[in-house]
């Protein structure tokens, strides 16, 4: 179907042009500042976290209740044993499944493990030769446009400000990757049956790529969580995601990190920051373009989703009894609702963590490098998982990935999809990322013609959606989605 307008009336009729030729060509979003991935990480710029305004002390007092003391003690008690468990098991704690097993169906035990850890490696989704061809195509694309390519660090790029290459378009719409994303969305649920979302319909969120070379030590991302920083407490909608934790007592144990309902309207980017994700992204992820293992510049995670989340949300309300104390015992920590401090949080930055700001996590012992992956393997981590990138690439080959997350269809996400499509057609960076001219002058960038499937075209906002109750696509929901896309 394609769309047109005649005398103010919306008309649908068969055709091959799709939304690309008839929808508006001006994004509704203000472009973000030009730059690179470094803009949102103090660990890449050696900045200090700037003190938060006094209103954040008032926010803490508004959120405080006496039951949080019990929550804090319980969480610290469980962390003590969990840290030892993680340190003892290391990388073997991270689940690995094959794409073939996903297609045939995983056991409840496998699914429970994935949800508890919050991270999963999917092996064999894309043939190795296909993944390696994608990488070579990107290398050629960058070489053909070498005077225009930008990235971090600027003098020896490891993370490229490239969003619209042919390889990225093909990977984002690859049927096996889409199948994997559909499975990952199936692990989520909605507590509110009226939630306007389809957890059976993944859409594309354009992100950049990494080709990290042996010896690199500049692309060092410390432990962090994307999808907001102070917003977790400041935004009423995002705060409601963690409502059970903030209730106090033992309610934190009832927190469901896979409940999509409260996330649909949450504001993760209140400050219009470059590199800050503004939509509901259920899983972050990458598809490997190389053989990469521990010590070779790979991903690291804290492999316990719910416990780490509870600790993170409670942490601002407590401080050491003595500023110089290094004790992790609950009795040596006291209430802090007078300061505006939210450890590791800054306005306009991602949520960062380290041994000083979040000592009970013992990140030096618990941040776990994912096991070795091969070209075509996929790695996904829940949007609340603490993750990092190894400080140095000590391997002999490149450590290369395409960042391809898993995003469900919602009305808000469709609005972003519309503007992302507009930028794609123009060769501009995706709306959440650093602005500037992007790839507008690049030779050989991707186009809608590189998307071969109808589902792929919908994922990129190039076609309207059609009602399908079996996929959570009711007629009224689809009508709203299509109106937004136009």
| Overall number of domains in the chain | 1
Q: List the one residue out of 236, 186, 249, 171 whose CA is nearest residue 452.
A: 171
Instruction: Give the helix ranges, DSSP H, for 242-291.
Output: 243-247
Give 445's Cβ-side CA count (13 Å radius).
19
The answer to the question of residue 28 being in a domain is no
Q: Which uninterrupted H or E stretch holds 196?
A: none
Q: Strand, coil or helix: what is 357?
A: coil
Taking the C-alpha atoms of residue 326 and residue 309, their distance in angstroms, rounded to an integer, is: 22
* Eight-class DSSP state of 39: G
Q: List the one residue out of 324, 235, 309, 245 whose CA is nearest residue 276.
A: 235
Domain that holds residue 226: 42-485
Structural tokens at position 68? 């949080």
What backbone torsions phi and psi does residue 356 show, to the nearest 5 degrees? -85, -45
DSSP for 295-343 reads TBS-EEE-S-HHHHHHHHHHGGGEEESSTT-----GGGEEE--SS---T
Locate tokens 């934790």: which residue? 245
Task: Examine residue 153 and say whether the peptide bond preceding it is cis (omega within 30 degrees of 0).
Answer: yes
pLDDT value of residue 40 = 83
Q: List the one residue out of 131, 116, 29 whose CA is nearest residue 78.
A: 116
Q: Where are the strands (E) in 365-445, listed by range?
A: 368-369, 378-382, 387-389, 399-403, 407-410
pLDDT value of residue 15 = 40
The answer to the question of residue 21 being in a domain is no
The answer to the question of residue 450 being in a domain is yes
Instruction: Give the helix ranges, DSSP H, for 159-304.
Output: 166-172, 175-186, 231-234, 236-241, 243-247
The answer to the question of residue 5 being in a domain is no
- pLDDT tens digit string along 170-180? 999 999 999 99
Q: List the one residue out of 269, 283, 344 whose CA is nearest residue 311.
A: 344
Residue 94 Rama label (left phi>0; alpha psi -120 to 50; beta): beta
The CATH code of the domain that includes 58 is: 2.60.120.330
* Eight-class DSSP state of 360: G
* Inter-residue contact 160 to 434 (CB < 8 Å): no
The answer to the question of residue 168 being in a domain is yes
Give 216's Cβ-side CA count (13 Å radius).
25
Q: Strand, coil or helix: what is 400?
A: strand
* Inter-residue contact 434 to 156 (CB < 8 Å): no
pLDDT value of residue 41 = 86
* Inter-residue contact 286 to 126 (CB < 8 Å): no
Taking the C-alpha atoms of residue 89 and residue 116, their distance in angstroms, rounded to an integer, is: 15
Sign of CA pseudo-dihedral 155, 157, 159, 161: positive
Q: What is the dihedral of CA 214, 220, 226, 229, to 10 degrees?
A: -170
Burial class for 386, CB neighbours closer than 10 Å (0-12, 13-18, 19+): buried
pLDDT value of residue 342 = 97
* pLDDT per residue rounded down to tens, the chain (486 residues): 444 332 233 333 334 446 765 555 677 888 888 988 888 888 777 777 778 999 999 999 999 999 999 999 999 999 999 999 999 999 999 999 999 999 999 999 999 999 999 999 999 999 999 999 999 999 999 999 999 999 999 999 999 999 999 999 999 999 999 999 999 999 999 999 999 999 999 999 999 999 999 999 999 899 999 999 999 999 999 999 999 999 999 999 999 999 999 999 999 999 988 899 999 999 999 999 999 999 999 999 999 999 999 999 999 999 999 988 999 999 999 999 999 999 999 998 999 999 999 999 999 999 999 999 999 999 999 999 999 999 999 999 999 999 999 999 999 999 999 999 999 999 999 999 999 999 999 999 999 999 989 999 999 999 999 999 888 999 999 999 999 999
Taking the C-alpha atoms of residue 27 and residue 381, their distance in angstroms, rounded to an integer, is: 30
* Inter-residue contact 296 to 394 (CB < 8 Å): yes
The answer to the question of residue 35 being in a domain is no
pLDDT value of residue 23 = 56
Q: Which uninterrupted H or E stretch holds 315?
A: none
The answer to the question of residue 124 being in a domain is yes
């Amino acid at each position: 179907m394609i769309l047109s307008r005649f005398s103010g009336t919306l008309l649908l009729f068969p055709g091959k042009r799709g939304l690309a030729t008839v929808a508006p060509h001006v994004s509704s979003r203000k472009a973000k500042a030009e730059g690179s991935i470094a803009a949102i990480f103090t660990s890449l710029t050696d900045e200090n976290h700037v003190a938060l305004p006094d209103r954040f002390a008032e926010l803490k007092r508004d959120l405080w209740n006496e039951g949080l003391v019990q929550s804090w003690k319980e969480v610290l008690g469980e962390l003590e044993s969990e840290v030892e468990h993680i340190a003892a098991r290391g990388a073997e704690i991270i689940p690995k499944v094959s794409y073939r097993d996903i297609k045939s169906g995983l056991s409840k035990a496998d699914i429970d493990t994935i949800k508890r850890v919050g991270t999963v490696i999917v092996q064999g989704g894309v043939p190795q030769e296909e993944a390696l061809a994608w990488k070579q195509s990107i290398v050629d694309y960058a070489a053909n446009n070498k005077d225009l390519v930008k990235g971090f660090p600027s003098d020896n790029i490891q993370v490229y400000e490239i969003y619209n290459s042919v390889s990225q378009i093909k990977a984002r719409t690859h049927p096996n990757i889409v199948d994997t994303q559909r499975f990952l969305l199936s692990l989520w649920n909605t507590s509110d049956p009226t939630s306007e979302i389809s957890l059976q319909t993944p859409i594309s969120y354009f992100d950049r790529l990494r080709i990290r070379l042996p010896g690199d030590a500049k692309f060092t991302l410390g432990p962090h969580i994307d999808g907001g920083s102070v917003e977790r407490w400041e935004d009423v909608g995002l705060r409601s995601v963690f409502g059970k934790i903030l209730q106090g007592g033992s309610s934190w144990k009832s927190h469901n990190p896979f409940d999509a309902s409260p996330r649909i309207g949450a504001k993760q980017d209140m400050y219009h920051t470059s590199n800050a994700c503004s939509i509901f992204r259920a899983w972050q992820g990458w598809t490997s373009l190389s053989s990469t293992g521990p010590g070779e510049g790979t991903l690291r995670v804290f492999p316990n989703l719910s416990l780490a989340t509870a600790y993170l949300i409670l942490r601002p309300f407590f401080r050491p009894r003595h500023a110089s104390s290094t004790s992790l015992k609950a009795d040596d920590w006291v209430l802090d609702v007078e300061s505006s401090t939210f450890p590791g949080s800054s306005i306009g930055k991602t949520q960062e963590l380290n041994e000083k700001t979040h000592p009970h996590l013992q990140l030096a012992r618990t941040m776990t490098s994912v096991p070795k992956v091969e070209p075509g393997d996929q790695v996904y981590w829940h949007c609340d998982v603490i993750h990092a990138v190894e400080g140095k690439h000590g391997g002999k080959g490149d450590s290369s990935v395409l960042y391809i997350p898993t995003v469900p269809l919602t009305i808000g996400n469709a609005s972003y999809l519309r503007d992302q499509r507009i930028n794609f057609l123009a060769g501009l960076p995706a709306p959440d990322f650093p602005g500037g001219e992007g790839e507008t002058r690049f030779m050989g960038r991707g186009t809608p013609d590189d998307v071969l499937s109808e589902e792929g075209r919908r994922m990129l906002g190039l076609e309207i959606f059609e009602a399908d109750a079996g996929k959570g696509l009711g007629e009224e929901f689809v009508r709203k989605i299509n109106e937004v896309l136009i």
